[in-house]
Structure 1
C-alpha cells in the first residue's frame, strides 16, 4: 500500500517479499557501521514484521522507498515511537541504499515523513536519533529542518547518540 508519493519516490508499506532488498543493506557491515551490528536475514524478516505490526497498531512505521523513475528499491524512511530518556518520542528514521546516497533522496523522504507526521498524525514534534559519527545522517536531519537538541547515552553505557528535533 502506498502511503506517500514525492517528486521522485513512492513510500509504501514493507512486505515479506521485500526481504532480499532489505537483507542486502541491513546485513552489510559497511552500511550498518553506526549500529551495534548488521542484521541477519532472520532478524531482517523480524524487522519487516515489526514494521508491519507498527502500521496496524500506530498507523505508521518505516516505509519502503521506491524510485518512481524505474521502480528501484532505494531504502526506507518513516516514523516510529522510540523511548528517549524515559519519554516516548516520534522518531523520523531513514536508511538509503548505497547506490542512492548523496542524491537528496533521504532528505526528500525525510521531509515528506515530517510533513505527514504533522498533517496526518497531528504531531507537534519529531526527533532523529543519530550516531555521533554518522555525518551523512546528521546532514539529512538538518536538511529536514531538525536541529541538535542534546546528546544522551539512552541506549546503554558508552553508547552516545545525538538527538535532533524540530517542532512541527
Structure 2
C-alpha cells in the first residue's frame, strides 16, 4: 500500500500472526499497555485491523523491510476517540529488535503524507501514553505538537495520554 525508502506498509493478514505474536505477547514491547496480549487478544487485534481496512479504508498495516521481507512491526492510521469526535491517529508498534533504527519515524511520516495527500485530511493525531517517551519523540520528528490530554481506562487502570497533532497546512 505505502512504500518508504526501507519499508513496505501493507495490509496485515492472518499469515502475519506469528510475527505479530512476537510483538504483542512481549511484555517489554507492550509496556505502554501494561501487559502482554493473550492468544485471544492477538486474534482480536488482527480481526480489528481487517475490519478497519473494510470499513475505514485503512488501519494499522504490517511494516515490512523492503530488502529482507521481515515484518518489523505495524504502522498505520486508525480512527480514535478524542474530544467527542473520531480523529485519524498515526500509530506504530514495532518488534523491539527493530527499536532505535528509525523505522517508526519513517513509517509515521509516510502515514502523515498519505493522510494529507491521498485522503485529503486536514489534521492527524497521535495519542501517546505519558510514559512512552520514544513514541513522543517519533511524534515530534513527525512534525506534531502536543494539543491536549486524556486518560484512557485500560486493563483495570487509568493511563494518562498526551494528544499530539499535525495540521496539513502546518498551522
Is the TM value for this pair above 0.5?
A: yes
Answer yes or no: is 1:90 the counterpart of 2:88. Answer: yes
Residue 10 to residue 66, structure 1, CA distance change in 2 (3 Å): same
Paired residues of 1:84 and 1:154 also in contact (CA < 8 A): no
- What's the CA shift string for 1:89-120, capped at 9, x where partnerless? 11100011111111111100000001001111
Correspondence for 1:161: 161
SS at match of 1:140: helix
The Cα shift of 1:138 comes to 0.4
The Cα shift of 1:159 comes to 2.1
- Give the number of equivalent residue pairs: 166
**Structure with a larger share of its residues in strand:** 2
Paired residues of 2:22 and 2:95 also in contact (CA < 8 A): no
SS at match of 2:163: strand
The Cα shift of 1:72 comes to 1.1
For 2:121, which of 106, 123, 130 is the aligned residue? 123
For 2:63, which of 62, 65, 79 is the aligned residue? 65
Question: Where does the alignment leave 5 or more consecutive residues of structure 1 unmatched?
Answer: none
Paired residues of 1:85 and 1:154 also in contact (CA < 8 A): no
* TM-score of the superposed pair, with normalisation by structure 2: 0.93
Question: How many Å separate the matches in 2 of 1:25 and 1:154?
Answer: 22
* TM-score of the superposed pair, with normalisation by structure 1: 0.94
SS at match of 1:153: strand
Answer yes or no: is 1:54 the counterpart of 2:38. Answer: no
RMSD of equivalent CA atoms: 1.3
Question: How many Å separate the matches in 1 of 2:103 and 2:34?
Answer: 25
Question: Where does the alignment leave 5 or more consecutive residues of structure 2 unmatched?
Answer: none
SS at match of 1:160: strand
Residue 155 to residue 165, structure 1, CA distance change in 2 (3 Å): farther
For 2:27, which of 26, 29, 34 is the aligned residue? 29
